[in-house]
Amino acid sequence: MRAGAGPGALRAVALVSFAESAILPVPVDAVTLPVMLADRTRLWRVVWVASLASVLGGLVGYGLGYLLYETLVTWLIEFYGWQDAFAEVRQDFQRQGALIIAIGALSPVPYKLIAIASGVERLDLLLFAAISALGRGGRFLAFGLLAWHFGPRLRQVLDRHAHWIGWLVLALLVGGFAAVRWIG
């Protein structure tokens, strides 16, 4: 929480938001929410920076899927063990691409997987960017509104129950994968 009020906090939010959307499995909410809570005067700037960086990272993921599927993307999928999940997402994209992008942008589903699959399936780039901007912006805005409204109480809860919250975040990630499986 102390680091969240520091001078490098916004850069960290941008970097983590970008990386989480492009290729790395990093928990973006574990960085953005503490920064939002650490300094409420920067809260809306954090929402903006996280949203913009996340969409840019998603565009990089899209580009990776579009241009480098046979080389880098195949290696990343194997490295993270996403073969089955990625195969299902690709199949689902042919029927419900826009809906899947929206779910991926809003939920704990690994957004990078959705971004890369969007490029592999060659979904319309403008549609991908628009849905991503709305979804990722909406996600970070929701966290910003929670931090604004419940900030002091939420900060106390985080300080007291950080361990259990970590397990909850993990459960949400697993739930996100299950949701993608269920939708298909």
List pLDDT tens digits, range 73-100: 788 788 878 788 878 877 888 788 888 8
Question: What is the C-alpha to C-alpha distance for residues 179 and 130, in angstroms, rounded to an integer?
Answer: 22
pLDDT band of residue 173 (cuts 50, 70, 90) is low
pLDDT on residue 169: 64
Range 17-27 burial, b when 16+ CB lie within 10 A, else e: bbbbbbbbeeb
In angstroms, rounded to a whole number, what is the distance separating the alpha carbons of residues 130 and 74?
Answer: 26
Q: Are 158 and 165 in contact (CB under 8 A)?
A: yes
Note the pLDDT of residue 130: 96
Q: Look at the block and give the residue holding tokens 């700037």.
A: 45
pLDDT score recorded for residue 109: 75
**pLDDT at residue 114, rounded to an integer:** 87
User: Residue 7: CB partners within 8 Å, gap ≥ 6?
Assistant: none
List the single range of 83-97, 134-148, 149-163 with lowest mean pLDDT. 149-163
Q: Which residue has the higher pLDDT, 11 or 30?
A: 11
Q: What is the mean pLDDT of residues 99-109?
A: 84
